[in-house]
A and B are shown apart, each in its own frame.
Chain A
Amino acid sequence: MKLVHYINFFLIFVFLIAICVIEENLVSTSLESVQNQCCKIENYLVEKDSLKQTELVLMVDNLEFTWTEQESKLCYLVNHASVKEIGYEVSHLKGYIENDDIDAFKVALQAIIFYSHSYLHFMGANFHNIL
């Protein structure tokens, strides 16, 4: 076997490792950042009776922006259909603010946290996923 073959296979091997590392990093950073932002919003809402707060709107805007940005990156590596629920719930948050529907808002936040937590589990490299 020629040296060039060994180099080719080595490059493919490095590429595979790099993709795995990038995927692991991207999935954990993006889902954790979404999770953290949702937790912040949840904490902010603890003593609030209304959703009509400028700071809350900014936080939701930020969450929406973060998710859109992260989702476009995630789509290179993960099945788009697997992460659509988070986007679906995020897109509803603003509507709840307009209607001042605090209960639905909290449920949506919980759903986002739940989905991001479960995706984090099934997209990561672990023994359960392998089997």
Chain B
Amino acid sequence: MFTIIIRSILIYCIVLLVFRLMGKRQLGQMQPFELVLTLIIADLATIPMADVSIPVLHGVIPLLTLVILHFLITLITRFSTFISKVLSGKPVILINPKGIDYKAMKKLNLTIDDIFAALREQGYFTLSQIQYAIVETNGKISVMAKSEFSPPTCQDLKVDVDENFIPITLICEGKILKENLALSNLSEEKVKEIVKRQTSSKIKDVLVLTIEQSGDGYIQLKSGEGKSFQEERLVAS
């Protein structure tokens, strides 16, 4: 049993390493060749885990071979559009302004129900709202609504708005994130001052504190409700 435990830990670490080496795409939107690799990896990893007569290397070597293969395929697809199309396919326009492309639908082995489900996921409930729908190489359907059904943007409404910034998390579960302090150009003392001003509590009591470039912030104590606040605009780093 001890051997199996150690083997399981070892193989888990190796599979983790393999997925890290293959990149983040492996965890989300997968191309067909990536899906094939993922399925094989899942199967390969379990073989030496349970059978102690099989050396761990019998599981590791195929895994590493697949990593190399994946690396080569990624490299080739980057340099050759043709091979990329062969391996991953190309996006297909499923709905155009004239309606559903029936030939494309049959070729992709999709049903009307599949199309409606995909459209509903994107927030559209009738085909008349859709200008274009494209089936991506990873199987997802991207939808472009007709102009009259698209939500208006600030540009459409001719409204002046401040630029959006990613909120910077300064405190997370009672700890100041020093890396983010540098991004916000704030000192630790300044953060402590903000916390004291907004909540009159200590840093360790704060669940989360975020701040935007505009000075808009949000703070929540571990034992309390969150609240928004306004500080001075941050100096761009």
Contacts and interface: CB of A to CB of B under 8 A. Distances in A.
A binds B: yes
Q: Is the interface of B mostly helix, strand, loop or mixed?
A: helix
Contacts of B68: 9, 12-13, 16
Nearest to A79: B54
B5 to A, nearest CB: 19
Interface stretch (A27-35, A50-58, A70-78, A117-125): A70-78
Interface in B4-61: 21, 53-55, 57-58, 61
13 contacts: A1-B74, A1-B75, A5-B21, A9-B21, A12-B21, A12-B68, A16-B61, A16-B65, A19-B57, A79-B53, A79-B54, A79-B55, A80-B54
Contacts of A8: 21
Contacts of A1: 74-75
B67 A81 contact: no
A65 interface: no
A50 to B, nearest CB: 38
B102 interface: no
A75 to B, nearest CB: 6
Interface residues of B, number: 14
B57 A77 contact: yes
Given A12-B64, A16-B68, A81-B53, 11 more contacts: A1-B75, A5-B21, A5-B71, A9-B21, A9-B68, A12-B67, A12-B68, A75-B55, A76-B55, A77-B55, A80-B54
A15 interface: yes
A16 B64 contact: yes
A33 to B, nearest CB: 21
A79 B64 contact: no
Given A77-B55, A80-B53, A19 B61 contact: yes
Nearest to A80: B53
